[in-house]
Chain A
Amino acid sequence: DIEMIQSPDSLPVSLGERATINCKSSQTVLNSSNNKNYLGWYQQKPGQPPKLLIYWASIRESGVPDRFSGSGSGTDFTLTISSLQAEDVAVYYCEQYYSPPWTFGQGTKVEIK
Chain B
Amino acid sequence: EVQLVQSGAEMKKPGESLTISCKGSGYTFTTYWISWVRQMPGKGLEWMGKIDPRESYTNYSPSFQGHVTITADKSIRTAHLQWSSLKASDTAMYYCATSYSDHGALEYWGQGTLVSVSS
Residue of B nearest to A44 (CB): B45
In the complex, what residues of A have CB within 8 A of residue B62's CB?
Answer: 1, 101
Contact B44 A107 (CB under 8 A): yes
A100 CA to B111 CA, complexed, in Å: 24
In the complex, what residues of A have CB within 8 A of residue B47's CB?
Answer: 95, 101-104
User: Which residues of A in the span 8-65 have a Cβ within 8 Å of any Cβ on B?
Assistant: 36, 38, 40, 42, 44, 49-52, 55-56, 59, 61
Total contacting residues, chain A, CB less than 8 A: 26
B109 at the interface (CB under 8 A from A): yes
Contact B61 A52 (CB under 8 A): no
A71 at the interface (CB under 8 A from B): no
A101 CA to B61 CA, complexed, in Å: 5
A104 CA to B104 CA, complexed, in Å: 14
Residue of A nearest to B45 (CB): A104
Contact B61 A93 (CB under 8 A): no
Contact B59 A97 (CB under 8 A): no
Contact A106 B44 (CB under 8 A): yes
Given contacts A49-B109, A102-B35, A105-B44, 13 further A-B contacts (CB under 8 A): A38-B104, A40-B105, A55-B104, A55-B105, A59-B103, A93-B44, A100-B50, A101-B49, A101-B59, A101-B60, A103-B47, A104-B47, A106-B44
Chain A residues within CB distance 8 Å of chain B: 1, 36, 38, 40, 42, 44, 49-52, 55-56, 59, 61, 91, 93, 95, 97, 100-107
Cβ contacts A to B, 25 pairs, < 8 Å: A1-B61, A38-B104, A40-B105, A49-B97, A49-B112, A50-B37, A50-B97, A50-B106, A51-B109, A55-B104, A56-B103, A56-B105, A91-B44, A95-B106, A97-B105, A100-B59, A101-B47, A101-B49, A101-B61, A101-B63, A102-B47, A103-B47, A105-B44, A106-B44, A107-B45
